[in-house]
Structure 1
């Protein structure tokens, strides 16, 4: 009985000592972070990567381009950089087929298309020589033909055939119809040969324009490379033999 009373007394004492502490606000163990201030979402901080300056004028120049204001945005205007004659020549796209067709239509036109004007005088000089020789040998062949007829049949211009002892062919005096016939065949062959050479020169002119156009468009950049690769080479009588292969890469 005494023990029960003692425990009750101790319980009441402890309860009385804790009542004043329950009336106070205890300090929290973890202090919360302060609540951030509200931010207006309509105001955005401008990106650091955006380096276009703000302006109020009609245009602004950045590098070689001009920017114009259109509403609230910037629109790139047409590039006003002038291109030099050398840059125009480098931008000239050469098509070998076009150069060949132009040369077949008119000699020298393909060379002009390739911008190789210095070749045109040589082409027409060749045609001039061929034309001169053609006219000359055609005239000599006509003289030899007339001389052959005069020596063989005589002069019939007066109505009666008069015998002719000699004729002049070029700078040569001919007294035989057989000799006149030989001169005629010789000069005729030279005349026909110049006609054939003129046709050949026309074809060479077209081929040259095509080759020059291909050389102008040939890729000489660093993309062309060569490398060595191991390979197995079949050899007759010995079978497969290890070797080295050279590989050229054209890009």
Structure 2
């Protein structure tokens, strides 16, 4: 009996450590220290050489690194040297002064000859209306004078006038003749103001067109897309894209 008890106690002493409760969480090993400065300096090394040279393809577009403008050539309008020289010769101030001196001259300086007929067509319409309303105003003024004072006949008593014709209208009263004169005179003056306004529009248009012709469309004003390695908290360096806008 004592022998069996001794064997049981020996078995318990050996088996109990195997059934002991293990910790639920095993602590992670401490990471080795890293040099963050060295990691940032090697940012460009994380981008493959093929990507640095040829860019990143996204769909049908290729994102090229800085300095590689070969794939951007199709996005810009190519201008020959002679066209560039002609554009650079245009000075907005000269176009403005020429249009101020003579309408349409600034448009000719900008080599936009097709605009000149429209300018002179506007002046032609306003000139026609000015002459028409001026004649009607003169007729109304003369009719008012005849209705009020009569028609001179070489004597001290002029012949009375009961009606006058102004344009296609028959006027029988002094009030009607006076109203017609005021109306036609206002139309005449309005055409003068519109002609001056058209002259001013001609000057402004020549100036704006000259500025647009000399607007810089070179690669200096552009959007550049290039690959970059971006530092992310907790993830280190991850591939990314950098977009740079250049303004003047």
- CA-to-aligned-CA distance 1:119-146 (integer Å, 9 cap, x gap): 0000011111111111110000000000
More helix by share: 2
Equivalent pairs, count: 149
Distance (whole Å) between structure 2 residues aligned to residue 132 and residue 152 of structure 1: 31
Secondary structure of residue in 2 paired with 1:125: helix
Secondary structure of residue in 1 paired with 2:121: helix
Distance (whole Å) between structure 1 residues aligned to residue 152 and residue 83 of structure 2: 68
Pairing partner for 1:143 from 139, 143, 167: 139
Equivalent residue, structure 2, for 1:194: 191
Distance (whole Å) between structure 2 residues aligned to residue 112 and residue 210 of structure 1: 12
Q: How does 1:1-251 map to 2 (within 5 A)?
A: 88-92=82-86, 93-159=89-155, 160-226=157-223, 248-251=245-248
Is the alpha carbon distance of 1:220 and 1:177 closer, same or farther for their aligned partners in structure 2, counting shifts above 3 Å? same
RMSD between aligned residues? 2.2
Is the alpha carbon distance of 1:163 and 1:197 closer, same or farther for their aligned partners in structure 2, counting shifts above 3 Å? same
Larger relative CO (CA 8 A, sep 6+): 1 or 2? 2
Unpaired runs of 5+ residues, structure 2, are 1-79, 226-242
Structure 1 residue 226: Cα displacement: 4.9
Q: TM-score, normalised by structure 1?
A: 0.56
Distance (whole Å) between structure 2 residues aligned to residue 199 and residue 125 of structure 1: 14
Structure 1 residue 99: Cα displacement: 0.2
- CA-to-aligned-CA distance 1:74-105 (integer Å, 9 cap, x gap): xxxxxxxxxxxx86454221110000000000
Structure 1 residue 222: Cα displacement: 2.6
Tell which structure's C-alpha radius of gyration is larger: 1
Distance (whole Å) between structure 1 residues aligned to residue 91 and residue 207 of structure 2: 9
Q: TM-score, normalised by structure 2?
A: 0.56
Unpaired runs of 5+ residues, structure 1, are 1-85, 229-245
